[in-house]
Structure 1
Amino acid sequence: MSNPTSEALSASEQEAHGKSGMGSLRRYAYGKIEDLLNSGQLRPGQLVSQRELVEATGATLGSVREAIPRFEAEGLLVTVPKKGLMVPSLDVAFVREAYQLRRMIELSALREAARRIPREQIEEWRVWHEAKEIAVQESAGGIARSLIDQVQRYDWAMHAEIVAALGNRLVDNVYRVTAIKIRMAVQSRLQVTGDNAARILKEHRAILDPLAEGHVEAATRALERHIDNSMTIALGGTVT
Structure 2
Amino acid sequence: MNEIGFLSALHRPGTLVDAGAHDGLLTLPLARLPGARVLAFEPLPSAFARLSAACAGLPQVTLRPEALGDAPGRAALSLPLLDGVAQEQWASTAKDYAGFGPGVGVRRHEVAVIALDDLALPDVTAIKVDAEGAEYEVVRGARDTLRRCRPVLTLELEERHREGSTFAVPAFLDALDYVTCFALEERWHPVAALDRATMQRASPDPSMFAASDPYVFTFYAWPRERDDEARRLLPGGTG
More strand by share: 2
More helix by share: 1
Q: TM-score, normalised by structure 2?
A: 0.23
Q: TM-score, normalised by structure 1?
A: 0.23
Structure having greater relative contact order (Cα 8 Å, sep ≥ 6): 1
Between Structure 1 and Structure 2, whose CA radius of gyration is higher?
1
